[in-house]
Amino acid sequence: MGSEPRVVIVGGGIGGLFAANALLHHGIRATLFEQAPELGEVGAGVFLTPNGVRHLNRVGLGPAIEQAGARIGAGSQYHRQDGTFVAPILTTDSHGWNAVYGMHRADLVTMLAERLPADAVHTGHRCTGIEQDERCAQVRFANGVTVEADAVVAADGIHSVLQSHVVEPSPPVYSGSVAYRGLVAHERVPSWPTGSSLLWMGEDKHFLVYPVRHGALVNYVGFVPTDEQMKESWSAPGDPAVLAAAFAGWDPRVESLLAQVDQTFRWGLYDREPLPTWTRGRLTLLGDAAHPMLPHLGQGANQSIEDGMALAAVLDRADRSRAGQALLSYERVRRERTSTVQRGARANGRRYDSSYDDLAVRDAEIAASVKFRSWIYDHDTLVEAEAAAR
């Protein structure tokens, strides 16, 4: 019997897939179980920032991201809804490293999955629960399969089944907004910049645009208030006419882009209060299962990538008998930082939705937020995790 911990990951989203890659990079072969019949993602973008990209580079994905992503840099700007310039958007870390990319989500999932051994990924496995004792954990699936592990990573998203095995679940908090998301072919909006991100802020609404796939596609997200509590969903179809009406009278650049939208889908925006603990025995939480956050800092995916690298670093120094202690070290490295980012994302949403009596105050906060962004972008969780594991 080898001494390397047997690691099971539940959930094959960006969080679970990156964790499997980071573990493999550290010489640990994890087994991943996903409920869907196949891995996949919706047609939408994901914003990658230096704190996530440095770990994607470490597992060897730098060239693939450069090839499939759209690097976002100069000209990225915040505006008021009429197009008045407010501030530049930070697109580097403090050392000037311009590692900010717009990626098609499906491209990122494919490149993460392709690097894993085929027999390490099992689709069509819906986890239903877990039992554990001092010797090992037993993970149960709806299809009758049970798998034994020394460490179990719940990367099963905001509606995590395994979370209730760790902590009293706190209900997801509805933000009162939905995001309309979609992609427009660049050839339909040829004047649109292919290397920058633009954001417009109005009352209760904001609109974000950035390129993906080397600028061949333009990714847009329109954040709109609603009374309707929709279940958090990737694929609820939306009405392009309703979306266009929500932003009528905004900067003509927004209106002209929305005039080209044929298809859109809505996503109910939820987060959760930061959890008091992530780990119980051999089970720990990762990604949205641990810290679902609003998208107003573009950090959900990036923080889950950081989680995966920290987890791999601590498990690398643990043998089977010490897997539980390693998970506690992982939680110590990650929980406070992600809680700060969760709260920061809420605060940023209030800025973007102009919930201010004096917009000059809001604009000044947006300009000053570069300091918080730098704190996010400069962080290297691997350094901290390696120190914690010593």
Ligand X SMILES: Cc1cc2nc3c(=O)[nH]c(=O)nc-3n(C[C@H](O)[C@H](O)[C@H](O)COP(=O)(O)OP(=O)(O)OC[C@H]3O[C@@H](n4cnc5c(N)ncnc54)[C@H](O)[C@@H]3O)c2cc1C
What amino acid positions are annotated as catalytic residues?
210
Closest CB to ligand X among residues 269, 323: 269
**Beta-sheet strands, E only, within 28-96:** 31-33, 45-48, 70-71, 77-80, 85-88
Q: How far is the CB of 127 from ligand X (least distance, A)?
A: 4
Closest CB to ligand X among residues 34, 251: 34
Piece of 27-35, 113-121, 252-260, 335-343 that binds ligand X (CB under 6 A): 27-35
- Member of 202, 238, 287, 308 binding ligand X (CB under 6 A): 287
Distance CA 287, CA 301 (A): 7
242-281: which residues touch ligand X (CB under 6 A)? Answer: 267
Q: How far is the CB of 287 from ligand X (least distance, A)?
A: 2
CB neighbourhood size of 239 (10 A)? 11
Q: How far is the CB of 289 from ligand X (least distance, A)?
A: 6
For residue 207, state whether it binds ligand X (rule: CB under 6 A). no
Place of tokens 């920032």: 49
For residue 156, state whether it binds ligand X (rule: CB under 6 A). yes
Residue partners of 90: CB distance under 8 A and separation at least 6: 370, 373, 374, 377
Distance CA 32, CA 206 (A): 37
Closest CB to ligand X among residues 140, 320: 140
Closest CB to ligand X among residues 82, 239: 239
Contact map string, positions 39 to 68, toward ligand X, x by CB under 6 A:
-----xxxx---------------------
DSSP conformational letter for 275? P
Q: How far is the CB of 169 from ligand X (least distance, A)?
A: 14
Closest CB to ligand X among residues 295, 363: 295
- Member of 7, 20, 64, 161 binding ligand X (CB under 6 A): 161
Q: How far is CA 82 from CA 75, 78, 207, 319, in A?
A: 17, 11, 12, 58
Q: How far is the CB of 302 from ligand X (least distance, A)?
A: 5
Distance CA 114, CA 135 (A): 33
109-128: which residues touch ligand X (CB under 6 A)? Answer: 126-127
For residue 222, state whether it binds ligand X (rule: CB under 6 A). no
Distance CA 305, CA 54 (A): 10
Burial degree of 153 (CB within 10 A; 0-12, 13-18, 19+):
buried
Distance CA 257, CA 86 (A): 21
DSSP conformational letter for 248? T
**Beta-sheet strands, E only, within the chain:** 7-10, 31-33, 45-48, 70-71, 77-80, 85-88, 101-104, 121-122, 127-132, 137-141, 146-149, 151-154, 173-185, 198-202, 205-212, 217-225, 236-238, 264-271, 279-280, 283-285
Residue count of the chain, please give it.
390
For residue 100, state whether it binds ligand X (rule: CB under 6 A). no
For residue 210, state whether it binds ligand X (rule: CB under 6 A). no
Q: How far is the CB of 44 from ligand X (least distance, A)?
A: 6
Binding-site residue total for ligand X (CB under 6 A)? 34
- Member of 21, 197, 264, 299 binding ligand X (CB under 6 A): 299
Closest CB to ligand X among residues 167, 359: 167
- Member of 7, 10, 56, 283 binding ligand X (CB under 6 A): 10
Residues in contact with ligand X by CB under 6 A are 10-16, 33-36, 44-47, 126-127, 155-157, 161, 181, 234, 267, 287-289, 295, 298-302, 304
